[in-house]
Amino acid sequence: MRELRNTKIIAVDHGYGNMKTANTVTPTGIKAYETEPIFTGNILEYNGIYYRIGEGHKEFMQWFLQHYGIVRPPSIHLIC
Strands 30-33 and 49-53: antiparallel
How much is the pLDDT for 35? Answer: 92
| Spatial distance between the Cα atoms of 63 and 35, rounded to a whole number of angstroms | 28
* pLDDT per position as a tens digit, 39-65: 878 888 999 999 887 776 555 556 656
How much is the pLDDT for 47? Answer: 92
67-77 as b/e: b if 16+ CB within 10 A: eeeeeeeeeee
- Average pLDDT, integer, range 15-43: 80
How much is the pLDDT for 48? Answer: 92
31-56 as b/e: b if 16+ CB within 10 A: eeeeeeeeeeeeeeeeeeeeebbebe
pLDDT band at 21; cut points 50, 70, 90: confident
